[in-house]
Structure 1
Amino acid sequence: MTRRLAEVRLDALLRTACDVIAERGLANTRTADVARAAGVSQALVFYHFATKERLLAQAFAYATEQDLLKLDALLKTPATPLERLRKLVRHYTPTTRVKSWTMWIDGWAESPRAPELEKISRRRVLRWREALREVITDGVRDGAFECADAEGAAWRIASLIDGLAIQSSAHPRIFPRTSISGWVNEAVSRELSLKPEQLA
């Protein structure tokens, strides 16, 4: 197998593994499930990943990298702090049933028992909080927002979104997902002295 072909297959296997994990959960995903979904042999899966644990950790790392690439692209867009804040909040808020949220929640749940997953999860969590803090700080500097504690506001906003994502994923009928954006916009507007309609 050429190096390029191996890289392509690895990328495809990781994408497939992410889909399977989102569907079946980390605990219930087997290497055989990933091989079947990818249309390859289990031997090829083990060629790339020595163990099931390594496969799951690398799939989680791959999903994290893809998510952070999207985040970086959002932040690099030439826009005002308010426009960047809108995009950031809209991207992070789970207004529809998103497979990736199921995977993140699963990863968080496993993190206390899996140091590699904890490290990967922590990187993603901290990068999102840092992105929010950067946008809030830029907005305060430009006079678009009022906020005495950008770090605290970033944690409170992101934690609210995380909590709503967990509840709506675990209990899809507990409240309508259409309510989530409104609740998040109200919370963000209070944190930054904005009007909720400015975030719509």
Structure 2
Amino acid sequence: MLRTACEVIAERGFGHTRTVDIARAAGVSQALLFYHFGTKDELFALAFAHAARLHQDLLEEIERSAASPRERLRMLMRRSSPAGSSEGWRLWIDATAESMRNKELEQTSRRLDARGRAVLRGIIEAGVASGDFVCADPESSAWRIFALSDGLALQIHVHPKAISRRRATQLVRASAAREVGLNPEDL
């Protein structure tokens, strides 16, 4: 039911999704939905936490990878690309906006953001230690890379004619490469 809730919320948005919409999509009664989740806010918070856990699992897979720092950076950039899944980005963008009014969503959003930056910072630090990267401030670099990626994702998924997916990907790749002392072609 949580996966279905994520799909419906991504399509309709937090503000326009009704519990009956989720129940219908999941093929269950609204009563059963409330039996498991209690309130609409609880359902929405748990659905977003479910999506966040899936992304967290992805981050952990990249973090545990035996690949080189350069390859792990490529993997992270690919998986966090602003040109990625519209459904995933729509859910993330809407949840971030809703986080201003919902403490549980804000906590989930903040934890996942921090985790993503920590993984990126760790990759950069490993690359500096191995001599693959040159970066004086991995923490600041992680902030800049994700800020650019998030901002471009907003443009792609909210203002789809503002920038192409290909151009956004090129900009993030070039920025990430510069942050770690590489040429964009090397990443």
- Count residues in correspondence: 187
2:46, 2:83 → 1: CA distance? 27
**Amino acid of the residue matched to residue 64 of structure 2?**
K
RMSD: 0.9
1:80, 1:152 → 2: CA distance? 21
1:147 partner SS = coil
**Residue in structure 2 matched with residue 80 of structure 1 by the alignment:** 68
1:96 shift after superposition: 4.3
**Residue in structure 2 matched with residue 3 of structure 1 by the alignment:** none
Which ranges in structure 2 are unaligned for 5 or more consecutive residues?
none
**Amino acid of the residue matched to residue 25 of structure 2?**
A
Do the aligned partners of 1:101 and 1:165 also contact (CA within 8 Å) in 2?
Answer: yes
Task: Report the TM-score, using the length of structure 1 for normalisation.
Answer: 0.91
Task: Report the TM-score, using the length of structure 2 for normalisation.
Answer: 0.98
**Residue in structure 1 matched with residue 38 of structure 2 by the alignment:** 50
1:154 partner SS = helix
Q: Which moved more, 1:94-103 or 1:177-186?
A: 94-103
1:16, 1:114 → 2: CA distance? 21
Do the aligned partners of 1:94 and 1:180 also contact (CA within 8 Å) in 2?
Answer: yes
**Residue in structure 1 matched with residue 170 of structure 2 by the alignment:** 182
**Residue in structure 2 matched with residue 169 of structure 1 by the alignment:** 157
2:126, 2:85 → 1: CA distance? 31
Q: Which moved more, 1:14-23 or 1:180-189?
A: 180-189
Which ranges in structure 1 are unaligned for 5 or more consecutive residues?
1-12
**Residue in structure 2 matched with residue 4 of structure 1 by the alignment:** none
Residue-by-residue CA offset, 1:36-85 (whole Å, 9 max, x unaligned): 00011011101111111110010011100011111111222211110101
Do the aligned partners of 2:83 and 2:156 also contact (CA within 8 Å) in 1?
Answer: no
1:26 shift after superposition: 0.6
**The structure with more radius of gyration:** 1
Higher RCO (CA 8 Å, separation ≥ 6 residues):
2
**Residue in structure 2 matched with residue 133 of structure 1 by the alignment:** 121
**Amino acid of the residue matched to residue 63 of structure 1?**
A
Q: Which moved more, 1:180-189 or 1:114-123?
A: 180-189
1:174 shift after superposition: 1.2
2:112, 2:62 → 1: CA distance? 15
1:110 shift after superposition: 1.1
Residue-by-residue CA offset, 1:71-112 (whole Å, 9 max, x unaligned): 111222211110101101111012245201001101111111
The yes-or-no answer on 1:147 pairing with 2:135 is yes
The yes-or-no answer on 1:106 pairing with 2:94 is yes
**Amino acid of the residue matched to residue 161 of structure 1?**
S
**Amino acid of the residue matched to residue 136 of structure 2?**
A
Do the aligned partners of 1:97 and 1:169 also contact (CA within 8 Å) in 2?
Answer: no
1:184, 1:16 → 2: CA distance? 31
Q: How does 1:113-132 map to 2 (within 5 A)?
A: 113-132=101-120
2:105 partner SS = helix
**Residue in structure 1 matched with residue 26 of structure 2 by the alignment:** 38
